[in-house]
Chains A and B, each alone.
Chain A
Amino acid sequence: MDALATYALRMGDDSLILGQRLSEWCGHAPALEVDLSLANVALDQIGQATHFLGLAGEIEGKGRDADALAFRRDVMDFTNCLLVEQPNGDFAQTIARQFLFSHYQVLLFAELSAVKDARFAAIAAKAAKEVTYHAALASDWVVRLGDGTDESRARMIAGLDWMWRFVDELFALDEVDTAALEAGMGVDKMALRSAWDHRIDAVLADATLEGPAPRRAVLGGRSGRHSEHLGHLLSEMQFLQRAYPGATW
Protein backbone atom coordinates (compact mmCIF):
# COMPACT_ATOMS: atom_id res chain seq x y z
CA MET A 1 0.00 0.00 0.00
CA ASP A 2 1.19 3.49 -0.72
CA ALA A 3 1.39 6.13 1.98
CA LEU A 4 -2.00 7.70 1.36
CA ALA A 5 -3.81 4.36 1.40
CA THR A 6 -1.97 3.45 4.59
CA TYR A 7 -2.95 6.80 6.04
CA ALA A 8 -6.64 5.96 5.52
CA LEU A 9 -6.07 2.39 6.68
CA ARG A 10 -4.67 3.51 10.03
CA MET A 11 -7.69 5.62 10.86
CA GLY A 12 -9.97 2.84 9.69
CA ASP A 13 -8.16 0.29 11.85
CA ASP A 14 -8.33 2.57 14.90
CA SER A 15 -12.08 2.91 14.55
CA LEU A 16 -12.66 -0.74 13.68
CA ILE A 17 -10.74 -2.19 16.60
CA LEU A 18 -12.23 0.24 19.09
CA GLY A 19 -15.70 -0.49 17.72
CA GLN A 20 -15.15 -4.22 18.12
CA ARG A 21 -13.81 -3.75 21.65
CA LEU A 22 -16.81 -1.69 22.69
CA SER A 23 -19.16 -4.25 21.15
CA GLU A 24 -17.89 -6.73 23.74
CA TRP A 25 -19.83 -4.73 26.33
CA CYS A 26 -23.13 -5.43 24.60
CA GLY A 27 -25.36 -7.07 27.20
CA HIS A 28 -22.82 -6.63 30.00
CA ALA A 29 -22.82 -2.93 30.83
CA PRO A 30 -23.67 -1.72 34.35
CA ALA A 31 -27.15 -0.58 33.26
CA LEU A 32 -29.37 -1.02 30.22
CA GLU A 33 -28.99 2.65 29.32
CA VAL A 34 -25.19 2.44 29.53
CA ASP A 35 -25.29 -0.69 27.39
CA LEU A 36 -27.01 1.38 24.69
CA SER A 37 -24.55 4.27 25.12
CA LEU A 38 -21.58 1.98 24.56
CA ALA A 39 -23.24 0.18 21.65
CA ASN A 40 -24.00 3.52 20.01
CA VAL A 41 -20.38 4.59 20.30
CA ALA A 42 -19.31 1.20 18.92
CA LEU A 43 -21.60 1.57 15.91
CA ASP A 44 -20.31 5.09 15.22
CA GLN A 45 -16.76 3.74 15.27
CA ILE A 46 -17.60 0.86 12.95
CA GLY A 47 -19.30 3.32 10.60
CA GLN A 48 -16.12 5.41 10.50
CA ALA A 49 -14.12 2.25 9.89
CA THR A 50 -16.32 1.33 6.94
CA HIS A 51 -15.64 4.70 5.34
CA PHE A 52 -11.91 4.87 6.02
CA LEU A 53 -11.25 1.24 5.07
CA GLY A 54 -13.35 1.65 1.92
CA LEU A 55 -11.26 4.67 1.02
CA ALA A 56 -8.01 2.81 1.76
CA GLY A 57 -9.09 0.01 -0.58
CA GLU A 58 -10.10 2.51 -3.25
CA ILE A 59 -6.75 4.31 -3.12
CA GLU A 60 -4.92 0.98 -3.11
CA GLY A 61 -6.79 -0.01 -6.27
CA LYS A 62 -6.44 -3.77 -5.92
CA GLY A 63 -10.12 -4.53 -5.53
CA ARG A 64 -10.13 -4.87 -1.75
CA ASP A 65 -13.19 -3.33 -0.11
CA ALA A 66 -13.75 -2.46 3.55
CA ASP A 67 -14.88 -6.00 4.38
CA ALA A 68 -11.80 -7.55 2.77
CA LEU A 69 -9.56 -5.22 4.76
CA ALA A 70 -11.42 -5.83 8.02
CA PHE A 71 -11.81 -9.59 7.84
CA ARG A 72 -9.00 -10.91 5.63
CA ARG A 73 -5.88 -9.46 7.15
CA ASP A 74 -3.82 -10.99 9.91
CA VAL A 75 -2.68 -9.29 13.06
CA MET A 76 0.67 -8.03 11.72
CA ASP A 77 -1.14 -6.19 8.92
CA PHE A 78 -3.28 -4.16 11.30
CA THR A 79 -2.12 -0.57 11.76
CA ASN A 80 -4.29 0.57 14.66
CA CYS A 81 -2.72 2.30 17.63
CA LEU A 82 -2.15 0.14 20.70
CA LEU A 83 -4.58 2.16 22.81
CA VAL A 84 -7.72 0.96 21.03
CA GLU A 85 -6.85 -2.74 21.29
CA GLN A 86 -6.40 -2.61 25.07
CA PRO A 87 -8.81 -4.88 26.92
CA ASN A 88 -12.03 -3.42 28.29
CA GLY A 89 -11.13 -4.28 31.90
CA ASP A 90 -13.79 -2.83 34.16
CA PHE A 91 -16.12 0.00 33.17
CA ALA A 92 -13.64 2.65 34.37
CA GLN A 93 -10.84 1.20 32.23
CA THR A 94 -13.12 1.25 29.18
CA ILE A 95 -14.07 4.86 29.94
CA ALA A 96 -10.39 5.80 30.36
CA ARG A 97 -9.60 4.42 26.90
CA GLN A 98 -12.61 6.17 25.35
CA PHE A 99 -11.82 9.45 27.07
CA LEU A 100 -8.21 9.59 25.89
CA PHE A 101 -9.02 8.42 22.37
CA SER A 102 -12.18 10.44 21.72
CA HIS A 103 -10.50 13.72 22.58
CA TYR A 104 -7.75 12.79 20.12
CA GLN A 105 -10.37 12.01 17.46
CA VAL A 106 -12.14 15.33 18.06
CA LEU A 107 -8.94 17.27 17.34
CA LEU A 108 -7.89 14.98 14.49
CA PHE A 109 -11.19 15.15 12.62
CA ALA A 110 -11.49 18.93 13.11
CA GLU A 111 -8.22 19.28 11.17
CA LEU A 112 -8.90 16.47 8.72
CA SER A 113 -12.26 17.93 7.71
CA ALA A 114 -10.35 20.90 6.29
CA VAL A 115 -7.81 19.03 4.12
CA LYS A 116 -7.97 19.46 0.37
CA ASP A 117 -8.81 15.83 -0.46
CA ALA A 118 -12.61 15.89 -0.37
CA ARG A 119 -12.81 12.15 0.38
CA PHE A 120 -10.89 12.45 3.65
CA ALA A 121 -12.58 15.73 4.51
CA ALA A 122 -16.09 14.34 4.02
CA ILE A 123 -15.54 11.33 6.28
CA ALA A 124 -13.95 13.54 8.92
CA ALA A 125 -16.76 16.11 8.81
CA LYS A 126 -19.38 13.44 9.45
CA ALA A 127 -17.32 11.72 12.13
CA ALA A 128 -16.51 14.99 13.89
CA LYS A 129 -20.06 15.29 15.23
CA GLU A 130 -20.06 11.70 16.43
CA VAL A 131 -16.78 11.94 18.31
CA THR A 132 -17.76 15.25 19.90
CA TYR A 133 -20.54 13.35 21.64
CA HIS A 134 -18.22 10.43 22.52
CA ALA A 135 -15.74 12.82 24.12
CA ALA A 136 -18.48 14.55 26.13
CA LEU A 137 -19.96 11.24 27.27
CA ALA A 138 -16.60 9.79 28.29
CA SER A 139 -15.54 13.02 30.03
CA ASP A 140 -18.78 13.03 31.97
CA TRP A 141 -18.09 9.51 33.20
CA VAL A 142 -14.48 10.36 34.11
CA VAL A 143 -15.82 13.12 36.35
CA ARG A 144 -18.55 10.93 37.85
CA LEU A 145 -16.18 8.07 38.61
CA GLY A 146 -13.18 10.20 39.59
CA ASP A 147 -15.22 12.47 41.87
CA GLY A 148 -17.49 9.63 43.03
CA THR A 149 -17.02 7.01 45.71
CA ASP A 150 -13.65 5.76 46.99
CA GLU A 151 -14.06 2.64 44.87
CA SER A 152 -15.06 4.40 41.65
CA ARG A 153 -12.19 6.84 42.11
CA ALA A 154 -9.65 4.06 42.63
CA ARG A 155 -10.93 2.27 39.54
CA MET A 156 -10.82 5.44 37.43
CA ILE A 157 -7.23 6.08 38.50
CA ALA A 158 -6.28 2.47 37.72
CA GLY A 159 -7.96 2.68 34.31
CA LEU A 160 -6.12 5.86 33.36
CA ASP A 161 -2.84 4.37 34.62
CA TRP A 162 -3.35 1.33 32.38
CA MET A 163 -4.03 3.39 29.26
CA TRP A 164 -1.60 6.24 29.76
CA ARG A 165 1.49 4.61 28.24
CA PHE A 166 -0.32 4.29 24.90
CA VAL A 167 -1.05 8.01 24.52
CA ASP A 168 2.21 9.13 22.93
CA GLU A 169 1.64 6.83 19.96
CA LEU A 170 -1.48 8.81 19.01
CA PHE A 171 0.60 11.90 18.27
CA ALA A 172 3.70 10.25 16.77
CA LEU A 173 4.55 11.11 13.17
CA ASP A 174 6.33 8.76 10.78
CA GLU A 175 6.98 8.69 7.02
CA VAL A 176 3.33 7.89 6.23
CA ASP A 177 2.14 10.97 8.11
CA THR A 178 4.83 13.10 6.53
CA ALA A 179 3.89 11.91 3.04
CA ALA A 180 0.21 12.63 3.70
CA LEU A 181 1.12 16.05 5.07
CA GLU A 182 3.20 16.85 2.01
CA ALA A 183 0.35 15.76 -0.24
CA GLY A 184 -1.85 18.26 1.59
CA MET A 185 -4.09 15.56 3.04
CA GLY A 186 -2.55 14.89 6.39
CA VAL A 187 -2.81 16.32 9.85
CA ASP A 188 0.20 17.34 11.91
CA LYS A 189 -0.75 15.14 14.85
CA MET A 190 2.20 16.31 16.91
CA ALA A 191 0.74 19.81 16.82
CA LEU A 192 -2.51 18.52 18.35
CA ARG A 193 -0.83 17.40 21.55
CA SER A 194 -0.95 20.64 23.52
CA ALA A 195 -4.66 21.15 22.76
CA TRP A 196 -5.27 17.53 23.78
CA ASP A 197 -3.33 17.97 27.04
CA HIS A 198 -5.41 21.02 27.78
CA ARG A 199 -8.70 19.18 27.23
CA ILE A 200 -7.63 16.17 29.30
CA ASP A 201 -6.27 18.30 32.15
CA ALA A 202 -9.50 20.31 32.34
CA VAL A 203 -11.63 17.17 32.73
CA LEU A 204 -9.22 15.57 35.21
CA ALA A 205 -9.34 18.75 37.31
CA ASP A 206 -13.15 18.53 37.29
CA ALA A 207 -12.83 14.92 38.37
CA THR A 208 -10.44 15.96 41.18
CA LEU A 209 -7.84 13.62 39.66
CA GLU A 210 -4.14 14.13 39.12
CA GLY A 211 -2.79 13.37 35.66
CA PRO A 212 -1.20 9.89 35.65
CA ALA A 213 2.52 9.77 36.31
CA PRO A 214 4.55 9.84 33.08
CA ARG A 215 5.14 6.35 31.73
CA ARG A 216 7.59 5.06 29.17
CA ALA A 217 5.66 5.21 25.91
CA VAL A 218 4.82 1.94 24.17
CA LEU A 219 4.77 2.26 20.38
CA GLY A 220 4.51 -0.15 17.47
CA GLY A 221 0.87 -0.46 16.50
CA ARG A 222 1.25 1.61 13.34
CA SER A 223 3.86 -0.81 12.02
CA GLY A 224 2.01 -3.97 13.04
CA ARG A 225 3.75 -4.71 16.34
CA HIS A 226 0.74 -5.33 18.55
CA SER A 227 0.01 -6.55 22.04
CA GLU A 228 -1.22 -10.11 22.47
CA HIS A 229 -4.74 -8.71 22.95
CA LEU A 230 -5.28 -7.91 19.28
CA GLY A 231 -4.87 -11.50 18.10
CA HIS A 232 -7.65 -12.66 20.42
CA LEU A 233 -9.88 -9.83 19.30
CA LEU A 234 -9.35 -10.69 15.63
CA SER A 235 -9.92 -14.41 16.14
CA GLU A 236 -13.39 -13.55 17.38
CA MET A 237 -14.13 -10.75 14.91
CA GLN A 238 -12.84 -12.67 11.89
CA PHE A 239 -14.07 -16.12 12.88
CA LEU A 240 -16.80 -16.37 10.28
CA GLN A 241 -14.69 -15.25 7.33
CA ARG A 242 -11.85 -17.51 8.42
CA ALA A 243 -14.11 -20.55 8.80
CA TYR A 244 -16.23 -19.83 5.73
CA PRO A 245 -14.17 -17.62 3.38
CA GLY A 246 -16.35 -15.37 1.26
CA ALA A 247 -19.55 -16.28 3.09
CA THR A 248 -22.37 -13.78 2.66
CA TRP A 249 -25.90 -13.61 4.06
Chain B
Amino acid sequence: MSDPSKEWPLWEVFVRQRGGLSHRHVGSVHAADAKMAIEHARDTYTRRLEGVSLWVVPSAQITASDPGDAAALFDPAEDKVYRHPTFYSIPDHIKHI
Protein backbone atom coordinates (compact mmCIF):
# COMPACT_ATOMS: atom_id res chain seq x y z
CA MET B 1 0.00 0.00 0.00
CA SER B 2 1.07 3.55 -0.63
CA ASP B 3 1.70 5.85 2.31
CA PRO B 4 -1.74 7.21 3.32
CA SER B 5 -0.25 10.57 4.30
CA LYS B 6 0.79 11.07 0.67
CA GLU B 7 -2.62 10.23 -0.78
CA TRP B 8 -4.88 12.94 -2.12
CA PRO B 9 -7.47 14.11 0.42
CA LEU B 10 -11.08 12.99 0.14
CA TRP B 11 -13.89 15.20 -1.18
CA GLU B 12 -17.61 14.63 -0.91
CA VAL B 13 -19.48 15.05 -4.18
CA PHE B 14 -22.97 16.52 -4.60
CA VAL B 15 -24.82 16.48 -7.92
CA ARG B 16 -27.81 18.56 -8.97
CA GLN B 17 -29.74 16.22 -11.20
CA ARG B 18 -31.57 19.00 -13.00
CA GLY B 19 -32.57 22.60 -12.53
CA GLY B 20 -34.96 23.12 -9.62
CA LEU B 21 -33.78 20.09 -7.64
CA SER B 22 -31.32 20.37 -4.80
CA HIS B 23 -27.79 18.97 -4.90
CA ARG B 24 -27.70 15.42 -3.59
CA HIS B 25 -24.77 13.55 -2.10
CA VAL B 26 -23.59 10.86 -4.52
CA GLY B 27 -20.21 9.74 -3.22
CA SER B 28 -16.64 10.89 -2.89
CA VAL B 29 -13.41 11.32 -4.86
CA HIS B 30 -9.75 11.76 -4.06
CA ALA B 31 -8.17 14.95 -5.38
CA ALA B 32 -5.27 17.27 -4.61
CA ASP B 33 -7.40 20.43 -4.64
CA ALA B 34 -10.88 21.76 -5.41
CA LYS B 35 -10.27 22.13 -9.14
CA MET B 36 -9.10 18.55 -9.49
CA ALA B 37 -11.99 17.41 -7.29
CA ILE B 38 -14.49 18.98 -9.69
CA GLU B 39 -12.78 17.26 -12.64
CA HIS B 40 -12.76 13.92 -10.89
CA ALA B 41 -16.35 14.33 -9.76
CA ARG B 42 -17.35 15.15 -13.34
CA ASP B 43 -15.54 12.12 -14.71
CA THR B 44 -16.72 9.76 -11.97
CA TYR B 45 -20.31 10.77 -11.27
CA THR B 46 -21.75 12.56 -14.32
CA ARG B 47 -20.68 10.19 -17.10
CA ARG B 48 -24.23 9.08 -17.77
CA LEU B 49 -25.93 12.46 -17.86
CA GLU B 50 -26.64 12.42 -14.14
CA GLY B 51 -26.28 16.10 -13.51
CA VAL B 52 -26.23 19.76 -14.45
CA SER B 53 -24.21 21.09 -11.53
CA LEU B 54 -21.57 19.80 -9.10
CA TRP B 55 -20.48 20.68 -5.59
CA VAL B 56 -17.39 19.28 -3.93
CA VAL B 57 -16.66 19.70 -0.24
CA PRO B 58 -13.54 18.55 1.63
CA SER B 59 -14.68 15.53 3.62
CA ALA B 60 -12.69 16.79 6.60
CA GLN B 61 -14.92 19.89 6.70
CA ILE B 62 -18.04 17.87 7.39
CA THR B 63 -19.10 17.61 11.00
CA ALA B 64 -21.23 14.56 11.67
CA SER B 65 -23.57 13.86 14.54
CA ASP B 66 -22.29 11.34 17.05
CA PRO B 67 -23.95 7.93 16.62
CA GLY B 68 -23.83 7.61 20.39
CA ASP B 69 -26.18 10.59 20.66
CA ALA B 70 -28.67 9.11 18.20
CA ALA B 71 -31.20 8.18 20.85
CA ALA B 72 -31.27 11.66 22.36
CA LEU B 73 -31.22 13.42 18.99
CA PHE B 74 -33.74 11.43 16.99
CA ASP B 75 -35.94 9.24 19.15
CA PRO B 76 -37.96 12.15 20.66
CA ALA B 77 -39.43 12.82 17.22
CA GLU B 78 -40.87 9.33 17.06
CA ASP B 79 -44.25 9.98 18.72
CA LYS B 80 -44.88 13.42 17.27
CA VAL B 81 -46.90 12.46 14.24
CA TYR B 82 -48.66 15.82 14.34
CA ARG B 83 -45.50 17.34 12.89
CA HIS B 84 -46.33 15.67 9.60
CA PRO B 85 -48.69 17.85 7.61
CA THR B 86 -50.92 14.85 6.89
CA PHE B 87 -54.01 16.16 8.66
CA TYR B 88 -54.91 18.49 5.84
CA SER B 89 -57.01 17.25 2.98
CA ILE B 90 -55.40 18.10 -0.33
CA PRO B 91 -57.60 18.75 -3.36
CA ASP B 92 -57.17 16.13 -6.11
CA HIS B 93 -55.97 18.60 -8.71
CA ILE B 94 -52.97 19.70 -6.62
CA LYS B 95 -49.92 17.71 -7.76
CA HIS B 96 -46.41 17.33 -6.39
CA ILE B 97 -47.19 17.61 -2.68
Contacts and interface: CB of A to CB of B under 8 A. Distances in A.
B7 to A, nearest CB: 9
Contacts of B44: 33, 36
A48 B93 CA distance: 48
Given A36-B44, A37-B43, A40-B43, A31 B30 contact: yes
Interface string B71-85: 000000000000000
Interface residues of B, number: 13
A140 B39 contact: yes
Contact of A144 (B32, B43, B47): B32
A107 interface: no
Interface in A105-163: 133, 137, 140, 144
Majority DSSP secondary structure for residues of A touching B: helix
Nearest to B37: A33
Contacts of A137: 39
A32 B43 CA distance: 11
Interface string A210-221: 000000000000
B16 interface: no
Nearest to B39: A137
Interface string B47-72: 10000000000000000000000000
B47 A33 contact: no
Nearest to B41: A33
Given A31-B30, A137-B39, A140-B36, 19 more contacts: A31-B8, A32-B30, A33-B30, A33-B31, A33-B40, A33-B43, A33-B44, A34-B40, A36-B40, A36-B43, A36-B44, A37-B39, A37-B43, A40-B43, A40-B47, A140-B35, A140-B39, A144-B32, A144-B36
